[in-house]
Amino acid sequence: MKKFTTREIAFLALLVALNIVLTRIASIRIAIGGVEGIRIGFGAFPVIFSGIAFGPYAGGIVGALGDIIGYFINPMGPYMPHFTFTAALVGILPPLFLKPFKAQIPTFWQLVIAIGLGQTISSIILTPYFIQMLFHLPMKITVPPRIVTQAIQVPLYAFLLK
């Protein structure tokens, strides 16, 4: 297990707070069938940033803590650990996908690939699957808008990280 310095813990706490604000307050929520089907915003950016800047372990912590604390501050239905797992994966996957490139500073396209793969697994596949499993909302309704949203957000996240 990696030991974090006090400075890194302070940065990670700031990123958790930024994640909560951008996800829970500064995002557009679109309900489908009485369930939040789509959320458009920049809430994933601090989680992805923490994973790439501090490692996958830090990204997972920021994603999970942001989801758990955000739930207690602004609950949207019952607590579902499935979505905490997905939030942690948002921070874990991109740095893991960047490892094979072995670049100190990843290029824009390396970031697009890593973030795109991470968002495809977490936001396009797992989240709609969990929504279908828990709320019986078909994936064919929730996946297409998520694909469009991620097609815009992934290059934007890569640009901001670069």
Write out pLDDT tens, residues 59-87: 999 999 999 999 999 887 789 999 999 99
Separation CA 77–CA 122 (nearest Å): 20
Q: Is residue 1 part of a domain?
A: no
Domain range for residue 125? 6-161
Model's pTM, two decimal places?
0.91
- Count of CB atoms within 10 A of residue 55's CB? 18
What total of structural domains would you count in the chain?
A: 1
Q: Is residue 137 part of a domain?
A: yes
**Phi, psi angles (nearest 5°) of residue 80:** -125, 110
In angstroms, rounded to a whole number, what is the distance separating the alpha carbons of residues 24 and 31?
A: 14
Q: Which CATH number fits the domain that encloses residue 113?
A: 1.10.1760.20
Cβ burial of 31 (10 Å; 0-12, 13-18, 19+) is exposed
In a domain, 134, yes or no: yes
